[in-house]
Structure 1
């Protein structure tokens, strides 16, 4: 059973999430909090596996919660809840080691899948269109773009570049394999090499580097 803590100041959002999560036999909501400070107290008391964390909250916001959790050795995995107009906050959250982000109006199956992905240690991203918006917001440094382009041109093979671009567009491993006629094992092997060459450890960081490199231009 995957235990989940809801930390959001909107009671209606918490109610909706509780109903969605309660419909899956592998998930259990063990508590709710309406602000970040209360959320931290409940994390300490309940030790949930996954925390669904809002960003904008009273008393202590989501970024403050992530900052405090970074000091713990056994912190739970965190899935940040967001809306379209909080891209800057989402980027800051990801840099503070949140495992992923999700739109509050996402479909129930997507919410459930995201929680399970985060619990497995995989990053959970919003749909590709939203992912692209967030990634684009992180690429306003021309010097970084130039450096990233040079590094990628030198390090990635042609096949790795194809896999990297599709991954950055939000495709799953299975979808990448289908598009490029590769086995799932081959896709995973390519992604492992890509992560190593880019010196990143998750899909979010890799996608940002790929966007910085300009490889998504014109796509």
Structure 2
């Protein structure tokens, strides 16, 4: 690799880190109220025997699966598993519903099948406007579940139709996704502390 290529690579890395830090420095002020509301809602739901359903597309689908793994498995401490389901995980259901109905229904159909009153349904969408996530929230409201959004900037339509919305102060997808994982790790830690002792 040439010296010029090395310099370019380092500049890209330095810029990416600086942009990520800048967003995260604004994250507390942007999300601390919604964060507390969300943690309270989740802890209350789990104590009552309810579950969490999570959905998103692409990187947000991976985040949904990541979070479900942290809750069903463990985050920082040995404890009883917590009921969380990533709706992006079951390939057969996604392809069946996508083929027989439409891709816009792949999450809503599962929410209608699985959600009970008092469950938490989380839609993750960096734009806040993913049609299948919006439909999942509409289905969740019909099922009397608590509707939660993880999004960016102004939250898009997701902000308008959720009970709680954590909006990362950025319009850049990569920076929003990085901040989402930071928020989720803090959520998982606080849930474990409140349910199983700090």
TM range (shorter): 0.3 to 0.5
Tell me the TM-score normalized by structure 1. Answer: 0.39
Q: With CA pairs under 8 Å and 6+ residues apart, which has the higher RCO, 1 or 2?
A: 2
Specify which structure has the higher proportion of helix. Answer: 2
Tell me the TM-score normalized by structure 2. Answer: 0.43
